[in-house]
A and B are shown apart, each in its own frame.
Chain A
Amino acid sequence: MRATLSVLLAAAALVAILPGAQAQLRCPEGRTSAGECVNPALAQVMRKSAIINAQPKISYTAPPLLPSEDGTYLLPRDHHEAANLYYYPPVIRSTTLRP
């Protein structure tokens, strides 16, 4: 029983190490409906853009990007909000803003 288990374990290890058919067909960013591998660099850019664009006001000081990616993905921030809510002196007064 122990010998059989050892043989099976060794065989499993060999299958895992060898670049079999399954490994050759692996697509790092998934497949199209026709079964082609998706361009991985394009897929990563599109996913990151979709997430950043869906969070336009998350964390002014630490957006969810590597610092080197800020220039690539971030749009200019809302100037009106910066002037009203964050700058000093604040637009916010006890009487506040109006048209």
Chain B
Amino acid sequence: MSLWNSLNRAGLTALACIVVPVAHAASAPPAWEATFNTEARYYSWTSNRGFPGTTTASAAGGSGSQLMVPFAFGLNGKPNDDWRTEFLIRSAYYWSKQTSAGMSGQSDGLTDTSLTGTFTYYGIAGIQPFTSLTLNLPTGRSNQQGTAAFSKLDQDVVSTPTFGEGFNAGPTVGANIPIGASMIVSASFGYTYRGPFNREGDVNQIGLLPTGTTRLDPGDVFTANIGFGASLGQNWQVQGSASYSWETTTTLNGDDFYRAGGRYALQAIVTYLWDPMWTSKLSASFQGFARNDVRSPPITGIVPELFNSNSNVTKISFDTTYKTAMFAIGPSVSFVYRDHNAWSPTDFRFLPAKNTWSGGVSAQYTPMQMVSLNANVQRIWLREDANPGILAPNGMPMVRTDAWAITFGATIKN
């Protein structure tokens, strides 16, 4: 009897394992959804100063361009009704060039690669806990020697300030807590381990070429986040979040070097559906930072800086989209304001405010359910205030940078 029960259970289980995914495929979205997504992002800029604009060599002005091709493959599925699993691998190919007097250089290659796994549990009514782990594998080049070092460009124009860093591991735990069917509060806590890596060494005293390398170990990051999202009626969707981060000490060649001040971030998104074809979205975010701990020789170790050298960042963006069954198109504008911008590497002062306007058009074409193509063209204007306090005797003039950002992308899913 016992053998009979075992055979029965084994047989039913085996059959269910084969049949259930087929049944899902017939009546619901596929049990496993695979997605491949890539974009080709081309940036081109000209400026009255090379980048960074804080060196005497950058006074003659400059220009640059970058091609960034991120690509990712995702696999999402539900092994059973109580669990959802999501996997993602992402990397990018890049080519980057700056042509500025005394600061010209280019580089190309693969950036770092990230692996992410997310697991969500649905077995409890009223709370859906999840956990996620992201690994950053250092497949990119963090140490650009020779003139290649000048190919790093302004992250307010391009998407990344670097092409590689060290090994990262970022576990997150959290939960969605539905207040109603279309009203959710979320909470999460993340830790980001950031491993050491080599980067360019000190600036040569004669020119600007790097000499040697330095070993940089960025501080690890802890972040607590809470969010709220709701669909209100047929037309409104609102979303908001607040987070706070704090860091451990960054070391340089094994010595304490820097510790970022606590950071808080606020974000709100409001979406309005005018009708089935027209949608508008307004987004706003603010990030504030407390004072950093820095070296201040002859004091050993790091101490709180005398005044806050960080830049608070405000971003506002707005877009409207007209959508039909196969096409979507619409304009977008955004504004980023940094209330003070960055440290001068030569005079130990912070630089003035910087604002970035951008405007453009996005379009999407979906010729079939499995495939969608997208394009985006943006014109970008960056203005950094004049700073009479550095680069004596005349000070640093206003930095005017104009740029284009053009993106083509494709998504394929089963």
Contact = CB atoms under 8 A, between A and B. Distances in A.
Interface of A: 1, 5, 8-9, 12-13, 16-17, 19, 23, 26-39, 42-43, 45-47, 49-51, 53-68, 70, 75-99
Interface string B290-315: 00101111000000011101110101
Given A31-B126, A47-B120, A91 B112 contact: no
A58 B27 CA distance: 38
Contacts of A65: 72, 88, 90
B336 interface: yes
A80 B350 CA distance: 10
Query: Which 5 residue pairs are nearest across A and B when measured between Cβ atoms?
Result: A54-B190, A33-B126, A61-B111, A59-B136, A50-B188
B200 interface: yes
A87 B155 CA distance: 9
Nearest to B241: A53
Nearest to A94: B202
B254 to A, nearest CB: 13
A49 B19 CA distance: 35
A29 B81 CA distance: 9
A30 B309 contact: no
A12 B152 contact: no
A96 B292 CA distance: 14
A80 B409 contact: no
A59 B130 contact: no
Interface in B89-135: 90-92, 111-114, 116, 118, 120, 122, 124-126, 128, 130, 132, 134
Interface string B1-43: 0001001100110011001101100111100000101110000
Contacts of A36: 178, 180-181
27 contacts: A16-B16, A23-B23, A33-B178, A36-B180, A42-B229, A42-B230, A46-B184, A47-B176, A47-B186, A49-B227, A56-B243, A56-B265, A59-B114, A61-B112, A62-B90, A67-B39, A67-B70, A76-B156, A79-B311, A80-B343, A81-B260, A89-B345, A90-B200, A90-B203, A92-B202, A97-B295, A98-B348
Contacts of B156: 76, 79
B265 A53 contact: yes
Contact of B338 (A27, A47, A49, A79): A79
Nearest to A16: B19
Interface string B314-327: 01000000000000
B4 A1 contact: yes
B404 interface: no
A88 B210 contact: yes
Interface residues of B, number: 136
B161 A16 contact: no
Contacts of A97: 258, 294-295, 343, 345, 348
B74 A57 contact: no
Given A62-B92, A75-B315, A30 B186 contact: no
A35 B125 CA distance: 7
A93 B216 CA distance: 12
Contacts of B90: 62-67
Contacts of B311: 79-80
A59 B16 CA distance: 40
B397 interface: no
Given A36-B180, A67-B70, A78-B263, A12 B12 contact: yes
A66 to B, nearest CB: 4
Nearest to B344: A91
B229 A80 contact: no
Nearest to A32: B178
